[in-house]
Chains A and B, each alone.
Chain A
Amino acid sequence: DVKVTQSSRYLVKRTGEKVFLECVQDMDHENMFWYRQDPGLGLRLIYFSYDVKMKEKGDIPEGYSVSREKKERFSLILESASTNQTSMYLCASRSPLSGSYEQYFGPGTRLTVT
């Protein structure tokens, strides 16, 4: 079974702090994604990475950056957390080379910025 794990289920940070959200997948997937999920807004793509050291902006990249130094790990960085970044953050991965385009999601990190 594909497993996508996220470093924390719940996180509370203060305004202005630098925040790291970590995601690890164990299936050698090429593509990885970061979404945020807000009630009534669905899932919105922040950044994605189609391979190691590659990254592309999604729909809402402002205030975020990402890092992918190893194939299995994709990090989301909030350089200076703000209260409007309080949200559920979901990581996903997939392997188009396998012939499947299904995205596999982690359980999410609920981040609260106070």
Chain B
Amino acid sequence: QQQVKQSPQSLIVQKGGIPIINCAYENTAFDYFPWYQQFPGKGPALLIAIRPDVSEKKEGRFTISFNKSAKQFSLHIMDSQPGDSATYFCAASMGAGSYQLTFGKGTKLSVIP
């Protein structure tokens, strides 16, 4: 019930491609879904977040798509660049104010020139 399942585990795309990372959850009480980006040697940093009252949120080249009925959400990176190479984690919590974030297992993205 508390799990967030993330796929794929790793992803390689060419520069300019559109990598897509998918997450699925079971707990319908989750209502805050952030994505974190982690570069090697650094801690994760918030990239973008969505609430289930919208189906899509875009910030720059990063877009979250949210499908409430399917209990799935995904991250799309438009015009991907080598500098986007990082590990991406989806997460979920029961309210933005909830103390506990449940993280997916992460996707290692490599964007090759």
Contacts and interface: CB of A to CB of B under 8 A. Distances in A.
Interface residues of A, number: 24
Given A102-B46, A107-B42, A43 B89 contact: yes
Interface residues of B, number: 21
Interface SS of chain B: helix, strand, loop or mixed? loop
Contacts, number: 46
Contact of A107 (B6, B41, B46, B49): B41
B26 to A, nearest CB: 16
A89 B105 CA distance: 15
B100 A43 contact: no
Contacts of B103: 42-44
Contact of B101 (A56, A96, A103, A108): A103
A92 B99 contact: no
Interface in B41-89: 41-46, 49, 89
Interface of A: 4, 31, 33, 40-45, 48, 50, 56, 58, 90, 92, 96, 101-108
